[in-house]
Amino acid sequence: MIFNWVTKILGTSRDHPEFWRQYLASFDGTLGKRTPIEEIGFVVFDTETTGLDSRKDRILSIGAVKVQNWQIDLRQSLDCYVQQSYQPVGETIEVHGILPGTHNEYNIDEIEAVKQFVGYCHNSILVGHHVAFDISMVNQVLKGMIGQRLVNKRLDTAALAVRVSEKKDYEQPGTYGLDTLCKKYKIPMSDRHTAAGDAFITAVLLMKLLARLKSRGVKTMGDLLRGPGF
């Protein structure tokens, strides 16, 4: 059971802050190998950061949506902008257009943003395009806060797209980039490069990819876990 495995590694949770205890408690074993895809809760998310180095760079915003049973409920979407004192030098500002300190009215600090995010995710499967990077960004904050890291199962839509692709060659660089995949799967690309916008696009992509896998017999979490992408 996942829960046992979690407690084994992390020890008892008494020392942890409340949000983290609740987070760990959510891994109650309800998600198992036989859970049908329809019942799996996915959190599809994206972060915008000051750069691409998770040790140095900081989170500027987190956007996330929940996908379950082929549906995204917009009432449950997360879109938070983070107040950063850190001044960026990176070129990513040009990509996403968020300057630290803009969106002042809504800004929350990094710790609060990650707390919200953890509370939002609970035991869902975390999904993103090249999700490892975004998870490492969150983990970086968690490590500084409480010395912990996320324990969720994760699913990378880029890897999933490779798995879905009929041709197993890796034709050209960028074939499995989000832009190219959006074109391939006819997903309209407005709001690219805002965290929430990308999260939403990725969520639609996830559903389209899962549908294709399902038609090939991938029907449960176990089936999903067996292939690459996890």
Partner 1 sequence: MENTIPRRVYDFLKEFPPFNLLGRDLLMRISERVLVQYRQPGDIIFRQGDPPNTHIYIVREGAVHLLWEKDGEPALVEQCDEGDVFGIRPLLAEENYALTAKVVEESLIYAINVEGFREVLENNPKVAFYLASTFASGVGENYRRQGKPMLFLDQEKMADVNYPLVEVQSLEKSKDPVTCLPDTFIREAAVIMSRREVGSVIVVDEASRPLGIVTDKDLRSKVATGQVGLEKPVAEIMSSPVITVGPDITVADVQIEMVKNRINHLCITEDGTSASPVIGVLSEHDLMVVQGNNPALLIREIRRCRTGKELRHIRERAEDLMKKYIYQEVAIAFISTVMSEVNDELITQSIKLSQAEMDEEGYERPSAGFCWLALGSEGRQEQLLRTDQDNALIFENVPEADLEPTKKYYLKLAEKATHLLNEVGYDFCPGDMMASNPSWCLSLEQWKAQFSTWIFEPSPKAVMYCTIFFDYRPIYGMKELATALTEHIFENIGGQAIFLGFLAKDALQNPPPLTFFRNFVVENGGEHKDEFDIKARAMMPLADAARVLILDAKVGKINNTFRRFEKLAELEPINKELYEQAADAYEILMRYRALQGLKNKNSGRYFNPSELSKMERVNLRNCFQPIKELQTLLTLRYQLAYLG
Residue 173 structure tokens: 């660089």
In the bound state with partner 1, the residue whose beta carbon lies nearer, of 15 and 38, is 38
Residues 69-88 vs partner 1: string with x where CB under 8 A?
-xxxxxx-x-x---------
Residue 125 structure tokens: 């499967």
102 binds partner 1 (CB under 8 A): no
Q: Could you tell me the smallest distance in angstroms from the CB atom of residue 211 to partner 1?
A: 5
Q: How far is CA 64 from CA 13, 121, 151, 196, 198, in A?
A: 26, 9, 17, 6, 9
- Contact (Cβ atoms closer than 8 angstroms) between residue 23 and residue 2: no
Residues 193-212 vs partner 1: string with x where CB under 8 A?
-xxxx-xx--xx--xx--x-
Decide: helix, strand or coil at residue 2: helix
CA separation for the pair 169, 175 (Å, rounded): 10
Q: How far is CA 183 from CA 158, 198, 212, in A?
A: 14, 14, 16
170 binds partner 1 (CB under 8 A): no
Q: Could you tell me the smallest distance in angstroms from the CB atom of residue 205 to partner 1?
A: 10
Decide: helix, strand or coil at residue 16: coil
In the bound state with partner 1, the residue whose beta carbon lies nearer, of 4 and 69, is 69
In the bound state with partner 1, the residue whose beta carbon lies nearer, of 24 and 160, is 160
Q: What's 59's DSSP letter?
A: E
190 binds partner 1 (CB under 8 A): yes
Work out which of 24, 65, 113, 181 binds partner 1, going by CB under 8 A. Answer: 65
Interface residues toward partner 1, by CB under 8 A: 63, 65, 70-75, 77, 79, 105-106, 186, 188, 190-191, 194-197, 199-200, 203-204, 207-208, 211
